[in-house]
């Protein structure tokens, strides 16, 4: 699936082409693999790791990478270390009150509840062409990259966030897993980071940190969109409420537009 980037003097330019323009093999793989049974999946190409889907793609040489269990061997080991600065959108979804929830439920019941939320979030985000960057603790992080979900990546991210809030409000998680969501966009360093033995495809930078801080500030059932993200959906989803937030570690306040689930 993944194209080997064999340009020693121009790795960053090669990464930029993949991240901004994409390439046909990756787009076709993501489109086809999303219909095979999963998760867990490779967070770049959507190839499933287990079950019938995993056995089918295994025949084609797609297996879980030894370097990163969130990636397949094709995506992790065929792409070199490094990356590039590109404009992307990032979504964070935080479960509110998870510490108290874990204390009340106990470890096994808490894990079962969180796994239901992870499955719901993964299904929604993959349908919106997201890369699931992390499922960790009480948080989901997803990337929307032009080369993988098109030039409407900001719109796709905002619509994915709205769909995620709707999904958790309609399912069994509605009263069990209160979620706050935020989406930000801008320049981030995207690529394979880590050591020679362990690498991870992810996004780094101030824009990503701001998105994480915003998600921590979102109330249960709330979605916070920064102005550039909201501009991409303003006509279809007009939001009357705005808010200015002072975020930990940020010198300037951040203005956001707020979407909220209607009361049940």
For residue range 162-218, list pLDDT tens digits in order: 999 989 877 555 557 889 999 999 999 998 887 767 777 899 999 999 999 999 999
Whether residue 21 contacts residue 147, with contact meaning beta carbons closer than 8 Å, is answered with yes
Helices and strands of the chain, counted as H and E runs:
10, 8
Instruction: Identify the pLDDT of residue 144.
Output: 95
Instruction: Identify the pLDDT of residue 77.
Output: 66
Q: CA–CA separation, 149 vs 38, rounded Å?
A: 20
Residue 64, both tokens: 């879980």
Residue ranges in the chain modelled with pLDDT below 70: 1-9, 23-25, 66-69, 76-79, 171-175, 196, 262-264
Q: CA–CA separation, 201 vs 76, rounded Å?
A: 8
Instruction: Identify the pLDDT of residue 229.
Output: 97
Nearest 5°: phi and psi at 185? -145, 165
Instruction: Identify the pLDDT of residue 172.
Output: 54
Of 202, 120, 205, 145, residue with least CA distance to 23? 145
For residue range 101-110, list pLDDT tens digits in order: 888 989 999 8
Q: CA–CA separation, 162 vs 262, rounded Å?
A: 12
| Domains along the chain with CATH numbers | 8-78 (no CATH), 83-260 (3.30.70.1230)
Helices (H), ranges, the chain: 11-16, 24-33, 51-59, 73-78, 98-105, 107-127, 146-149, 153-170, 206-217, 227-231
Instruction: Identify the pLDDT of residue 5.
Output: 45
Q: CA–CA separation, 34 vs 64, rounded Å?
A: 16
Instruction: Identify the pLDDT of residue 171.
Output: 57
Please indicate, yes or no, whether the overall pTM of this predicted structure exceeds 0.85. Answer: no
């Amino acid at each position: 699936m993944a194209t080997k980037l064999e340009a020693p003097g121009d790795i960053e330019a090669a990464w930029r082409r993949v991240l901004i323009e994409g390439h046909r093999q990756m787009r076709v793989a993501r489109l086809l693999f999303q219909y095979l049974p999963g998760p867990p999946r490779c967070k770049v190409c959507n190839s499933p790791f287990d079950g019938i889907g995993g056995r089918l793609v295994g025949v084609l040489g797609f297996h879980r990478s030894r370097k990163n269990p969130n990636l397949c061997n094709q995506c992790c080991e065929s792409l070199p270390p490094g990356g590039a600065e590109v404009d992307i959108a990032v979504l964070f979804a935080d479960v509110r009150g998870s510490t108290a929830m874990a204390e009340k439920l106990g470890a096994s019941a808490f894990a079962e509840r969180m796994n239901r939320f992870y499955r719901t979030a993964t299904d929604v985000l993959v349908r919106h062409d997201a890369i699931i960057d992390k499922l960790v603790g009480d948080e989901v992080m997803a990337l929307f990259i032009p080369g993988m979900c098109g030039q409407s990546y900001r719109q796709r991210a905002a619509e994915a966030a709205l769909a995620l809030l709707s999904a958790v409000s309609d399912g069994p998680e509605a009263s069990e897993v209160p979620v706050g969501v935020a989406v930000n966009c801008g320049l981030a360093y995207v690529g394979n980071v880590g050591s020679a033995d362990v690498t991870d495809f992810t996004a780094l930078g101030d824009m990503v940190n701001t998105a994480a801080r915003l998600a921590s500030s979102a109330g249960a059932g709330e979605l916070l969109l920064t102005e550039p993200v909201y501009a991409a959906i303003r006509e279809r989803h007009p939001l009357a409420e705005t808010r200015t937030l002072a975020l930990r570690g940020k010198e300037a306040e951040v203005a956001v537009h707020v979407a909220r689930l209607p009361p049940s």
